[in-house]
């Protein structure tokens, strides 16, 4: 994950540092030229003074000396400036905007949402514009500021296991998302993780719509040794969820994971059906499952599902094939909901807990 973004950001940081260095050298050159010009003027005045001295024209001499003093003062001011830019450089807002335009293109190319880009611009501006920054430190400073501003876009997730253990039984999670986003596979991965932690539960086959969906879940159930509660195809998904919860309550089970049919976030009737499942199941958690690789689409979906039914957390699947990572960077900022896990493959243990620090390390180290 982030392979492409990482490479592009690295190039950007080095490029920006070089650009700043070039600008500084130009300034340095200009100052030196101005100093030389002043020195030349000074020499000419001195020559004149030498010439006037024997004639003892006091008034004229005084004027020349005054002029010389003024030149000297000006030169000192320029020297001070030169000394300063030898060590540090301030970035003007105009220069910053020029650099950020380049960064913006990289971010867009890597699927970072516009809302997130705006937030990055504001933060970077505060950290970089008009700050006296050592010339040796520019590269580090740009990287650190970028890292820090991306960090503020991410939301540290809660710990699912602790939440489940602390909550009333059964802990009910409903999963939803568009077709093929990885809901059923993710449910199997979560079930596997819960089982490994000695928790017992059932899976609810509430996708009664797609052909072979019930068999798909049953296959996982039998591989994992976890019971699947089902009805026939075409049955009311809310009724399946209700059955599964009833069953879990009767057996004092720890969890119920509800699989639902893939639905487009733009279809109101399908969202209403989802709403009904939630009304009946009263889930402890509503998790949106989206594909990391679809970038801004995944963000739009998360936003639409959140507006329609409310989401508590996000799982992004197929992170293993996403070299850009923009959705992972921006979806939490846009929805204000944490990413709990990243799906990183098709095996049961290909589910990585989302961790801010690790994500930043992946992008920058
Ligand atoms: N590489 C990769 N593939 C994944 C991941 N998660 C799911 N898949 C694959 O994505 C495809 C769709 O997964 P499903 O779990 O069936 O998706 P779904 O959302 O339940 O699909 P519908 O029920 O049809 O809406 C399958 O081939 C999965 O193996 C992941 O994290 N990485
Ligand atoms: Mg499915």
| Tokens matching residue 318 | 């197929």
> Which of 151, 179, 195 is the last residue in one of the domains?
151
> Do 206 and 255 belong together in one domain?
yes
> Do 47 and 24 belong together in one domain?
yes
pLDDT of residue 253: 98
> Which of 151, 179, 197 is the last residue in one of the domains?
151
Q: Write the pLDDT tens digit of every residue in 156-188.
A: 999 999 999 999 999 999 999 999 999 999 999
- Ligand 1 pocket test, pick from 175, 177, 182 with the greatest ligand atom count within 8 Å of Cβ, gives 182
> Do 215 and 282 belong together in one domain?
yes
Q: Write the pLDDT tens digit of every residue in 193-203.
A: 999 999 999 99
Q: What is the pTM of this model?
A: 0.92
Find the angle CA(14)-CA(97)-CA(6) to the nearest 5 degrees.
Answer: 35
pLDDT of residue 59: 84
Which DSSP category does 212 fall into? T
> Do 275 and 308 belong together in one domain?
yes
Q: Residue 121: how many CB atoms within 10 A of its CB? A: 18
> Do 173 and 253 belong together in one domain?
yes
pLDDT band at 60 (very low <50, low <70, confident <90, very high): confident
Q: Is residue 365 part of a domain?
A: no
> Do 188 and 314 belong together in one domain?
yes
Q: Is residue 143 part of a domain?
A: yes
CA of 343 to the centre of ligand 1 (A): 9
Residue nearest to atom 7 of ligand 1 (CA): 182
> Do 196 and 86 belong together in one domain?
no
CA of 285 to the centre of ligand 2 (A): 18
> Do 167 and 144 belong together in one domain?
no
The answer to whether 200 and 256 have CB atoms below 8 angstroms apart is no
> Which of 101, 119, 151 is the last residue in one of the domains?
151
> Do 118 and 190 belong together in one domain?
no
**DSSP calls for 143-182:** HHHHHHHHHTT--PPP-HHHHHHHSPSSEEEEEE-STTSS
How many domains does the structure of the chain reveal? 2
> Range of 19's domain?
3-151
Q: Which atom of ligand 1 is nearest to the CA of 289?
A: 19
CA of 50 to the centre of ligand 1 (A): 91
Q: Write the pLDDT tens digit of every residue in 280-336.
A: 999 999 999 999 999 999 999 999 999 999 999 999 999 999 999 999 999 999 999
Q: Is residue 99 part of a domain?
A: yes
Mean pLDDT over each residue of the chain, to the nearest integer: 95
> Do 140 and 172 belong together in one domain?
no
**What residues does ligand 1 touch, defined as CB less than 6 Å away?**
177, 179-185, 207, 210, 213, 262, 317-318, 320-321, 343-346, 350
Q: Angle of helix 326-335 relative to helix 114-128, nearest 10 degrees?
A: 90
Residue nearest to atom 5 of ligand 1 (CA): 318
> Do 147 and 166 belong together in one domain?
no
Q: Is residue 362 part of a domain?
A: no
CATH code where residue 11 lies: 1.20.120.140
| CA 288, 289, 292, 294 torsion-angle sign | negative
CATH code where residue 234 lies: 3.40.50.300
CA–CA separation, 7 vs 1, rounded Å? Answer: 12
């Amino acid at each position: 994950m982030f392979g492409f973004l990482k490479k592009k950001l690295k190039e950007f940081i080095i490029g920006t540092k070089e650009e700043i260095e070039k600008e500084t050298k130009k300034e340095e050159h200009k100052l030196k030229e101005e100093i030389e010009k002043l020195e030349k003027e000074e020499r000419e005045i001195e020559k004149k003074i030498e010439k006037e001295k024997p004639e003892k024209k006091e008034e004229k001499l005084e004027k020349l000396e005054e002029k010389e003093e003024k030149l000297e003062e000006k030169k000192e001011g320029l020297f001070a400036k030169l000394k300063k830019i030898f060590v540090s450089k301030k970035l003007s807002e105009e220069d910053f905007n020029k650099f950020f335009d380049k960064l913006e293109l990289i971010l867009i190319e890597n699927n970072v949402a516009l809302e997130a880009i705006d937030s990055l611009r504001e933060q970077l501006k505060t950290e970089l514009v008009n700050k006296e920054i050592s010339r040796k430190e520019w590269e580090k400073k740009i990287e650190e500021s970028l890292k820090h501003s991306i960090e503020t876009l991410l939301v540290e997730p809660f710990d699912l296991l602790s939440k489940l253990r602390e909550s009333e039984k059964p802990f009910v999670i409903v999963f939803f998302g568009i077709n093929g986003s990885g809901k059923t596979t993710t449910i199997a991965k979560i079930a596997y993780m819960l089982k490994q932690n000695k928790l017992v539960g059932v899976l609810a086959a509430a996708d009664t719509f797609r052909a072979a969906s019930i068999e798909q879940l049953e296959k996982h159930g039998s591989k994992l040794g976890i019971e699947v509660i089902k009805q026939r195809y075409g049955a009311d998904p809310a009724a399946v969820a209700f059955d599964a919860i009833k069953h879990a309550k009767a057996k004092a089970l720890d969890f119920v994971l509800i699989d639902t049919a893939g639905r487009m976030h733009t279809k109101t009737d399908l969202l209403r059906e989802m709403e009904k499942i939630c009304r009946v199941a009263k889930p402890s958690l509503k998790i949106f499952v989206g594909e990391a690789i679809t970038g801004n689409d995944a963000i739009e979906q998360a936003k639409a599902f959140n507006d329609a039914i409310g989401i508590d957390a996000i799982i992004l699947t197929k992170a293993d094939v996403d070299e850009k990572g923009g959705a992972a960077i921006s979806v939490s900022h846009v929805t204000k909901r944490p990413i709990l896990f990243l799906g990183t493959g098709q095996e049961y243990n290909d589910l990585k807990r989302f961790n801010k620090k690790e994500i930043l390390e992946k992008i920058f180290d």
